[in-house]
Chain A
């Protein structure tokens, strides 16, 4: 059966897979050092720390991040920026783990109770186990958190890219584990239909899976689809699903998920195809973070090979730096054959042959897209379907003018994403700005309203009390008392300050002898000083009150005051003086070690610094 009718475009490519499928999966030797990138995850170990195999090294800190576990035992040598596989990538923070060769594992935590796990709990568990899917965790958290129905679950075993046979070998050799993993996922996710789709060019894997999956309720579908049939949207279309209700999971991820769900094993390795210009093409199970060059050396590349291609024959790219480490998505490492000098020739202008348009599996017009991407006209590129491009690389492969179509689409689609993010940021800034303006306006109105209300209340009160005159006539007496109390308080404050000054000189004298002792003593001394000052202030206040009481009859002499008034006045005066004295005692700094003084000094220093900086800048400006 042929799916060329359903996928009209696409290309039958030489698969180049036979060489690497003749040998069983080997296990790579323990590398001396491993480099684990911390993308979207937060490190929870320190340099110099010894870690055991399976130990958690970094926790995911966003929805797309993955937990990182130690692939072997050893010491964390450094946490620093290191180069990554993608060409031109800025350095990314990575953990450098020096293995100690003992491969000492920590006991595995049992997997959580399977019955109670919801879809979201399962997704988070797999994220914590470092199981990766197409982008980020195997089960996307946003999908798991929504209650979208799951009608079709596709286990993707197509692997149509030339040279790569990692999934093929996994399905051949670990069919029973894979079947168990699929069964677990079926129990947990309960899809209406579950299909393992596999390409016709893997007969050994098909027979292995058919034997292992005998009696299962899900189906294995063998399809003869052209490259790039392993693309999730195309596969969904091929199997008659809709994008909203379909989930497409890679075989390798499902296998790792099964290991995690059954045994609590975190994902620390993956199968990598070593092929291309090598003597012994094969598949190996390599620890994540192993250096690419060391891995490829296991397959003995030809001496004339030039560089390492990371990925498959079409989507792969040449590594700028051979020492970079493999990651979760490194399904293949190919030794590049040197190009004949004629084919290195530069790209030529587009001849409008239309080959790219006929081959495009997404049915786009790559020549038009290329035109708009070249002029960075992203709006037009979007109209021509840039976002639908699956970046399969077929257009670049067939272009007779060797135009870098794939490269420009990759560049432009990322540019488009960045522009969209920027637009979102601008929109949120606009919203915040508008809200701020609204808030300020509202505050202003509320304040005006409050003031108006208060004014109205006062006006009403004034209108209600027509006998305001006697009250105002009686006022001067308390105000005189106030004045006297204030004088008394000032006197108290002055005497207190004097006392304090003496105390301070005393502490200063002791401070000269021993700084540390003085600091302790100063506190004690300060307390004593404060107590003394308080006592003195109280005494002074009493004296002042007495004096005030003595003088008040003479002040009130001309106008004979009513009988109870002097007592009351005296009481008020003394209490006010006491309060003032207490306030003064509190306000007066008992010792230079208090918080307020420190803060004041700090602020003064900071302001002085700022002033100096400003002055310097002014000088600089004047000089220029």
Chain B
């Protein structure tokens, strides 16, 4: 009798322990929700942040929101380039798409430059700049902070005297890189290894 009781107690103990272990492992298996950023933020991290609106949205974050909801296609961001489309496709688990035919063409990176002799100090471009990269005040000459300019071209349209032009960012010494090695691979006949 005592032995049966002991066995029962041991059995209960074992079941309790097993349940505890299982619960712990189950807790470990479920991912902690706080560690992974929301999908919108992960998409936004891939987008180039030019805030140019060429995708038809009012900036990169709205486009990321639309992508996260599945309302827009991934091939509408010209500044992101093909590499951007590939990254988006990998993240959203969609197929790679070539650029949309109605999307604006890709351009090399350029930076806005204000012709300081023509500028009348109307501040319209300052209000248009999405990243606060234009400096100036009313009736004073404006200038572009070239390091902060994303090349979105949003300042071109509002200028009443057309004094802003886009200057392509030239290859300086800092942008230099070793050329991609181009090699011709020839088939080797069996037994003729040099």
Contacts and interface: CB of A to CB of B under 8 A. Distances in A.
Interface of A: 39, 84, 86-90, 92, 342-343, 345-349, 400, 403-404, 407-408, 410-411, 414-415, 418, 422, 425-430, 432-433, 435-436, 602-603, 606-607, 609-610, 613-614
Interface stretch (B4-12, B31-39, B42-50, B97-105): B42-50
Nearest to A81: B173
Interface in B153-194: 159-163, 170-173, 175-181, 183-186, 188, 193-194
- Max count, chain B CB within 10 A of own CB: residue among A90, A427, A435: A90
B185 A39 contact: no
A90 B50 contact: no
Sorted nearest first, the 3 A-B pairs with minimum C-beta distance are A414-B177, A407-B181, A404-B181
Interface stretch (B17-25, B69-77, B130-138): B130-138
Given A429-B50, A609-B162, A349 B185 contact: yes
Nearest to A348: B188
Contacts of A407: 178-179, 181
Contacts of B159: 610
Contact of B185 (A346, A400, A607): A346
Given A89-B176, A346-B183, A411-B178, A433 B160 contact: no
Nearest to A429: B49
B60 interface: yes
A349 B193 CA distance: 12
- Max count, chain B CB within 10 A of own CB: residue among A39, A414, A425, A429: A429
A418 B178 CA distance: 12
Interface residues of B, number: 39
A411 B148 CA distance: 27
Contacts of A418: 175, 177
Contacts of A87: 178-179
18 contacts: A87-B178, A90-B170, A90-B172, A345-B194, A347-B184, A348-B186, A348-B188, A400-B193, A407-B179, A408-B180, A411-B177, A415-B177, A429-B51, A429-B131, A433-B49, A433-B131, A606-B118, A607-B161
Nearest to B80: A426
Contact of A610 (B44, B160, B184): B160
Contacts of B148: 428-429, 432
B162 A430 contact: no
Contacts of A426: 47-49
B80 to A, nearest CB: 10
Given A346-B184, A427-B49, A84 B173 contact: yes
Nearest to A350: B185
Interface in B59-98: 59-60
Interface string B102-137: 000000000000000010100000000011110000
A110 B163 CA distance: 51
A603 B122 CA distance: 11
Contact of A433 (B130, B179, B183): B130
Contacts of B50: 429
B122 to A, nearest CB: 9
A425 B193 CA distance: 49
B168 to A, nearest CB: 13
A90 B179 contact: no
Q: Please classify the interface of chain A as helix (H, G, I), strand (E, B), loop, or mixed, using the class held by over half of its residues.
A: helix
A291 B50 CA distance: 44
A346 B194 CA distance: 11
A381 to B, nearest CB: 14
A407 B177 CA distance: 11
Contacts of B162: 609-610, 613-614
Contacts of A415: 177
B93 to A, nearest CB: 17
Contacts of A86: 176, 178
Contacts of A432: 131-133, 148
A411 B156 CA distance: 36
Nearest to A89: B176
B150 interface: yes
Contacts of B175: 90, 418
A348 B192 CA distance: 12
Contacts of A404: 181, 183
B181 A39 contact: no
Contacts of B132: 432, 435-436
A92 B176 CA distance: 10
Given A343-B194, A410-B177, A411-B180, 15 more contacts: A86-B176, A87-B179, A349-B185, A407-B179, A408-B181, A411-B181, A418-B177, A429-B148, A430-B44, A430-B60, A433-B131, A435-B132, A606-B118, A606-B163, A613-B162
B118 A433 contact: no
Contacts of A613: 162
A606 B161 contact: yes
Nearest to B127: A440
A430 B50 CA distance: 8
Contacts of A435: 132
Contact of A348 (B59, B160, B173, B185): B185
Given A86-B176, A418-B177, A606-B161, A436 B131 contact: yes
A87 B193 CA distance: 31
B157 to A, nearest CB: 11
Contacts of B118: 606
A197 B66 CA distance: 60
B120 to A, nearest CB: 5
Nearest to A599: B120
Contact of A88 (B60, B178, B188): B178
B173 A430 contact: no
A426 B81 CA distance: 14
Contacts of B49: 426-427, 429-430, 433
Contact of B120 (A39, A90, A348, A606): A606
A430 B132 CA distance: 11
Contacts of B188: 348
A398 to B, nearest CB: 15
A603 B48 CA distance: 37
A410 B172 CA distance: 18
Contacts of B44: 430
B178 A345 contact: no
Given A426-B48, A614-B162, A89 B173 contact: yes
A410 B180 CA distance: 9
Nearest to A415: B177
Nearest to B119: A606
Contacts of B170: 90
A142 B167 CA distance: 32
B84 to A, nearest CB: 11
Nearest to A343: B194
Contact of A347 (B120, B163, B176, B183): B183
Nearest to A91: B173
A90 B183 contact: no
